[in-house]
Amino acid sequence: MAGALSHWGWGFADRFPDLEARREMGAHVQALLGFAPGEPREPRPVESLSLPAPRVTPPPALAAGCDASPYARASHSYGKGYPDLLRGLRGEFRAPPDFVALPREEAEVVALLDWAAGQGVAVVPFGGGTSVVAGVETDVGAPFRGVVSLDLRRLCRVLEVDAISRAARIQAGATGPAIEAQLAPHGLSLRHYPQSFELSTLGGWIATRSGGHFATLHTRIDDFTQSVRMVTPAGILQTGRFPSSGAGPSPEHLVLGSEGTLGVVTEAWMRVQARPRFRSSAAVHFAELARGVQAVREIAQSGLYPANCRLLDAREAALHAVTADGSHVLLLGFESADHPNEEGMRRAVEIAAAHGGVCPAGPVHKSEGERTGEEGTAAAWRQAFFDAPYLWNVLVSLGLIVDTFETACTWDRFDALHEGVIARVRAAMKRACGGGRISCRLTHVYPDGAAPYYTFLAPGRPGAELEQWAEIKRAACDVLVSLGATITHHHAVGRLHRPWYERERSPLLAAALRAAKGALDPEGILNPGVLL
């Protein structure tokens, strides 16, 4: 893993291209999008930032594990949404954490929460810092004497492996690569690959109910979570380690999705898997998106459960370099550690064909020995998928407004939703920016509905980008909730989605959650402003 993380943008700092390379990318962008990016801007270096002075200092017992340097404070001010990148680039860090705590063991998490509750200091849990919904932002407002960003990165070990039950006890601060590297010697894998995989952590995945690469069936970290351990200001909540239990409401589901408002996840027993030995993949092209959607619905209701079942519209396919011929593309994949999946793939392609899908290259089947070099389309997609956030750094520096949003709705509402989103977001981009481009892919599909994921790009006006972006984002959120879709399938609520979450959520659910928070975090120091 390369050097330091960027203090303002996505990922590792040394992956931000130099001026010349960004200029060149600007030319490509113009060819692709049809509007001219601006002259690349340079991020303000950390050394030149003038951050407000810390209001509180770490307690002596914890001081060695804390960091109040400008780099630490700046890089823990925001997540990695568009406004975060933009403000970071501009060097606007108005409410950084007073310090960053990097506990080396769970006891230090306990001690920090004790201290913070006693001092009236807010604590914002920080995993990989990849939130795109202001879930780790430290601008928590008035009643607190200070705010600490609690970074779990030092708790990054796989502590135990139970190969019989296929489970592993993993510390919450472990990133995707750290988890996979520690499981690999056991022939095991967690197989959870969100787009943030390189940086995000197990604790963050659990706190936000992260969505992974499985497009059907086990789409969410929830499905792999056997048992969790969470430090709260009121003590440690540990759930039992069972494959399944019917004893009362699921305790794990109080923690999953709690977004750091109830406690700090420190470790979890996760369900892991044998590494796949058999893979099949296919790219099916559709002339009409609507027919691709029908095919995906039928596949989702077939019980075939492909690991990959991602439908990219033509713009998304072009953006991710999957194809540029104007067709919409369904990427299908099956994977198994136990048996080949050729029959399942054959049936899935047959369903797609019945809806007009064409599979020019035919499915590709690989078994263990042949694993080197996966076939072209899927591999191109995967690389582009993980690299996309790095590209956003560049686009933001070129003055573009770039963001994504995602949702889920039942199939009966899908066509109206998709049409409404495209129309309303286009109109908002027209109003705010004079135009723009929106593309869509289905990231996860279910028997009863789908999770569409939208990417929009529009030209920003220097100095006005935040307002322009907010107008588009507001239009997007409004249309989702008004057409019966959820405000988020897997990006979480954070501070950004809260107004729409409140429209979607029953007031009684809010009352129950607030009461539960009162029991676990009586001083209300944990991630204030998120969810509640």
Residues numbered 375-434 forming contacts with a second copy, rule: CB under 8 A:
408-412
Q: With 0-12 CB in 10 A as exposed, 13-18 as middle and 19+ as buried, what is 506?
A: exposed
Reference 286, options 346, 354, 222; nearest CA is 354
Rounded (to 5) percent helix, strand, coil in the chain: 40, 20, 40
Stretches 196-204, 206-214, 355-363, 382-390: which one binds a second copy (CB under 8 A)? 206-214
List the one residue from 75, 77, 232, 527 that touches a second copy (CB under 8 A). 232
- Member of 157, 186, 253, 437 binding a second copy (CB under 8 A): 253
Selected binder of a second copy within 489, 525, 526, 528 (CB under 8 A)? 489
How open is the CA angle 324-326-332, to the nearest 5 degrees?
80
| Coil, helix or strand at residue 421 | helix
**Chosen residue from 105, 343, 368, 370 binding a second copy by CB under 8 A:** 343
Kindly tell me which residue out of 259, 313, 316, 403 binds a second copy, with binding defined by CB under 8 A.
Answer: 259
d(CA 235, CA 301): 43
Distance of closest approach, residue 299 Cβ to a second copy, in angstroms? 9
Give the residue, chosen from 162, 374, 471, 523, that forms a contact with a second copy under the rule CB under 8 A.
Answer: 162
CB of 416 to a second copy, least distance (A): 12
Instruction: Give the pairing of strands 328-336 and 400-406.
Output: unpaired
- Cα–Cα distance measured from residue 394 to residue 71, given in angstroms and rounded to the nearest whole number: 21
Q: Which of 145-153, 379-387, 417-425, 508-516 is the region at the interface with a second copy (rule: CB under 8 A)?
A: 508-516
Cβ neighbourhood burial of 239 (10 Å; 0-12, 13-18, 19+): buried
- Region binding a second copy by CB under 8 A among candidate stretches 40-48, 151-159, 279-287, 447-455: 447-455
Burial 43-80 (b: 16+ CB within 10 A, else e): bbebeebebeebebebbeebeebbbbebebbbbbbbbb
Does residue 132 contact residue 78 with C-beta atoms inside 8 Å? no
* Cβ-based nearer residue to a second copy, 1 or 508: 508
Position 92: which residue type?
E
Judged by CB under 8 A, the chain residues 279 through 298 that form the site for a second copy are 297
Q: Which stretch binds a second copy (CB under 8 A): 109-117, 123-131, 180-188, 332-340?
A: 332-340
Rounded to whole angstroms, the Cα distance separating 234 from 454 reads 40
> Is 105 among the residues that bind a second copy (CB under 8 A)?
no
Residue 505 binds a second copy, judged by CB under 8 A: yes
Site for a second copy in 108-127 (CB under 8 A): none
Residue 302 in the binding site for a second copy (CB under 8 A): yes
Strand-pair category, 264-271 with 121-126: unpaired
By CB under 8 A, name the one of 118, 141, 240, 326 that touches a second copy: 240
Candidates 3-11, 92-100, 244-252, 365-373: pick the segment binding a second copy (CB under 8 A): 244-252
Q: Does 482 bind a second copy (CB under 8 A)?
A: no
Segment interacting with a second copy (CB under 8 A) among 12-20, 74-82, 174-182, 479-487: 479-487
